[in-house]
Amino acid sequence: MSGLRALTSEHLDELAPVLRRAVALDPAGLARVRATEHQVSALVRLPFGVLVSRTLAATAGQTFDVTVRASELLAWLDGAGSAMPTPRDAEWRASLPPARGWQRIDTVPDDVVRGLVRAGAQALTRAADNAGVAGAQQRSEMSDALLDSVVLTVTAASGESSTVVTLRTLSAVTRMGFLPRGSHIAVDVAGRWTRVAAEYGSVYAERAGLGLTLR
pLDDT single digits (tens) 158-168:
888 899 999 99
Residue 105's pLDDT is: 96
Residue 180's pLDDT is: 96
| C-alpha triplet 176, 170, 32: angle, nearest 5° | 45
- Structural domains of the chain in order of their starting residue, each with its CATH number: 2-91 (3.10.150.10), 103-206 (no CATH)
Residue 204's pLDDT is: 97
d(CA 107, CA 187): 6
Fill in the amino acid letter for 71. S
d(CA 188, CA 162): 10
Return all residues near 111 (Cβ < 8 A) that are at least 6 apart: none
Residue 79's pLDDT is: 76
Burial class (CB in 10 A: 0-12, 13-18, 19+), 81: middle
Q: How many residues appear in the chain?
A: 215
Q: What one-character DSSP code corresponds to residue 181? A: T
Q: What is the pLDDT tens value at each position of the chain, 215 positions in all?
A: 567 887 887 887 888 999 999 999 999 999 999 998 889 999 999 988 899 999 998 777 888 999 999 999 988 888 766 678 899 999 998 899 998 999 999 999 999 999 999 998 888 777 766 655 555 455 566 677 888 899 999 999 888 889 999 999 999 999 999 999 999 999 999 999 999 999 999 999 997 654 333 32
Residue 2's pLDDT is: 60
Q: What one-character DSSP code corresponds to residue 210? A: S
**Residue ranges of E strands in the chain:** 30-35, 40-45, 51-56, 64-69, 103-109, 150-155, 162-166, 184-190, 193-198, 201-206
pTM over 0.85: yes
Q: Which residues does residue 55 pair with via DSSP β-bridges, in sequence order?
A: 41
pLDDT single digits (tens) 106-151:
999 999 999 999 998 888 777 766 655 555 455 566 677 888 899 9
Q: How many CB atoms lie within 10 A of CB 17?
A: 15
Q: 3-state class of 59 per DSSP?
A: coil
